[in-house]
Amino acid sequence: MPDHALSATSADWSAGDSHAHPALELDGLTKRFGDRVAFESVTLRVDRGEVFGLLGPNGAGKTTLVRTCATLVRPSEGRARVLGIDLEASNGPEIRRRIAVMPEAPGLYGNLSVVENLRLFARLYGVHDVDRAIREALDAVDLSSRRDDACRALSKGLRQRVAIARTLLGQPELIFLDEPTSGLDPVAARDVLELIASLRAQGRTVLITTHRLDEAERVCDRVAILRQRLLAVGKPGELGLGSQRSLVVRVGGAAEDAKAHLAPVVEAAHVVVTDEHTLRIDGAEPDELAPVVAEALVHAGDRLLELASPRERLEEVYLELVGGETKESDR
Ligand SMILES: Nc1ncnc2c1ncn2[C@@H]1O[C@H](COP(=O)(O)OP(=O)(O)OP(=O)(O)O)[C@@H](O)[C@H]1O
């Protein structure tokens, strides 16, 4: 695990112009509800302009971490800065003025039109030029043509875009999107991910929570895996412990036999037998190696059950770190 990425230490905690600070700096942040730990000892830094993914299974503490950073929940221990502002109750109004949160349930008024919803929230947020803010927000999510439709008449994917437009109304510097693709079909989810990528292109900082690895990989510059504690932080391709240069091979027969069959095409020193039926081949580009390995094994009469790509390896790392299933006690 690239633990350098976890090293936002107290030494980094310097005062100064809040615009020069990272979007988010957490130092040993902990939240407990009575005996129940929502998250603990989270030290993390999110830079400006990043799309940052907070990954974890149900009950991992993702939503509570977002709510804490958004000043909606008070931390039990540790400290944090949001856009360079100390996370303290007295700074709540200033922090909330400069961030936006989209909760998992978007909470739009179904009977009101898109534009009426946005107008309502723009007034609540104290936006100055409401019409302009709405126009820009609708343009950003490509929904101008549906501005007069009632929200209840929109698909779930379009409603999610309205909810994202709502977060843009106050020109936030940092946007938290809690499970932005939850409940969407693959096409609507892809649209929302593209929208998030376009927010980055506009120079915004976005933190999304998700339990979907593939989404995090697609859209995030960096991801953190959380299960109460931070288990890993890094670029999606780095989290597999260098696994992007390795290939996992599972065969029906003995792994040792398969290793022997691979001798003509792969140096033995690069092949590690990880269990009775599984090998790992290190130090080569998987895309180049996979067809060669497959051909050699099939030629030797091995039954090839799986050739895992780095994407799948990241998933393995994730499952290994979070322990696969969610414990009932974590819910
Ligand atoms: N207001 C609360 N009071 C008591 N416990 C809470 C409260 N909010 C969250 N928790 C507990 O904190 C833990 C973390 O919950 P949280 O909702 O942050 O997880 P999550 O990763 O967002 O999960 P999900 O993906 O299911 O939304 C859970 O054990 C949850 O029951």
Q: SS3 for 137?
A: helix
pLDDT band at 203 (very low <50, low <70, confident <90, very high): confident
| Residue 178 Cα to ligand 1 middle (Å) | 13
pLDDT at 183 over 90: no
Q: Do 176 and 69 share a structural domain?
A: yes
Cβ–ligand 1 contact at 13 (below 6 Å): no
180 CB-near residues (< 8 Å, 6+ apart): 102, 160, 164, 192, 196, 208, 210
Interface pTM (ipTM) of the complex?
Answer: 0.96
Predicted confidence (pLDDT) per residue in 82-137, tens digit: 999 999 999 999 999 999 999 988 789 999 999 999 999 999 888 989 999 999 99
DSSP string, 284-326: S-HHHHHHHHHHHHHHTT--EEEEE-HHHHHHHHHHHHHTSSP
Q: Is residue 325 in some structural domain?
A: no
| Residue 164 Cα to ligand 1 middle (Å) | 23
Cβ–ligand 1 contact at 330 (below 6 Å): yes
The residue nearest atom 13 of ligand 1, judged by CA position, is 38
CATH number at residue 34: 3.40.50.300
pLDDT band at 244 (very low <50, low <70, confident <90, very high): low
Give me the mean pLDDT over the 142-155 stretch: 93
Q: 214-248: string of b/e by CB count within 10 Å (b at 16+)?
A: ebbbbbbebbbbbbbebbbbbebebbbeebbebbb
pLDDT at 264 over 80: yes
The residue nearest atom 10 of ligand 1, judged by CA position, is 38
Tell me what percent of the residues of the chain surpass a pLDDT of 70: 86
Q: Do 195 and 286 share a structural domain?
A: no
First-to-last alpha carbon distance for the chain, in angstroms, is 26
Q: Do 268 and 202 share a structural domain?
A: no
Give me the mean pLDDT over the 157-179 stretch: 93
Q: Is residue 7 in some structural domain?
A: no
The residue nearest atom 5 of ligand 1, judged by CA position, is 33
- Record the tokens describing residue 289, joined without a space: 């190696």
Q: Do 214 and 90 share a structural domain?
A: yes
| Residue 32 Cα to ligand 1 middle (Å) | 10
Query: Which atom belonging to ligand 1 lies closest to the Cα atom of 209?
Result: 22
- Dihedral sign (CA 139, 95, 29, 76): negative
Residue type (1 letter), 94 = E
Q: Is residue 158 in some structural domain?
A: yes
Q: Is 236 left (phi over 0), alpha (psi -120 to 50) or beta?
A: alpha
| Residue 50 Cα to ligand 1 middle (Å) | 25
Q: Do 255 and 226 share a structural domain?
A: no
Residues 317, 302: Cα–Cα separation, whole Å: 27
Cβ–ligand 1 contact at 178 (below 6 Å): no
Domain with 32, as residue range(s), is 24-234
Residue type (1 letter), 303 = R
Long-range pairs, 126-134, Cβ under 8 A, ≥24: 126/170, 127/169, 127/170, 133/168, 133/169, 133/170, 133/171, 134/165, 134/169
- Record the tokens describing residue 321, joined without a space: 């770190």
Cβ–ligand 1 contact at 64 (below 6 Å): yes
Q: Could you tell me which residue, 307 or 263, shows the higher pLDDT?
A: 263
- Dihedral sign (CA 188, 319, 29, 64): positive
Q: Do 76 and 203 share a structural domain?
A: yes
What is the chain's mean pLDDT, rounded? 85
The residue nearest atom 6 of ligand 1, judged by CA position, is 33
Q: Do 230 and 146 share a structural domain?
A: yes
Q: Do 281 and 225 share a structural domain?
A: no
Please report the beta strands in the chain, taking only residues with DSSP state E, as ranges in sequence order.
24-33, 36-46, 51-55, 77-82, 85-86, 99-102, 174-178, 205-210, 222-227, 229-234, 246-251, 271-275, 278-282, 304-308
Cβ–ligand 1 contact at 60 (below 6 Å): yes
Please, what is the angle between helix 114-124 and helix 130-140, to 10°? 120
* Residue 232, beta-bridge partner list: 225
The residue nearest atom 28 of ligand 1, judged by CA position, is 59
Count the domains in the chain.
2
Q: Do 207 and 110 share a structural domain?
A: yes
Residue of 29, 42, 62, 208 best suited for mutating to test ligand 1, as the one with most atoms within 8 Å of CB: 62
15 CB-near residues (< 8 Å, 6+ apart): none
Predicted confidence (pLDDT) per residue in 33-52, tens digit: 999 999 999 999 999 999 99
Give me the mean pLDDT over the 181-189 stretch: 85
Q: SS3 for 327?
A: coil
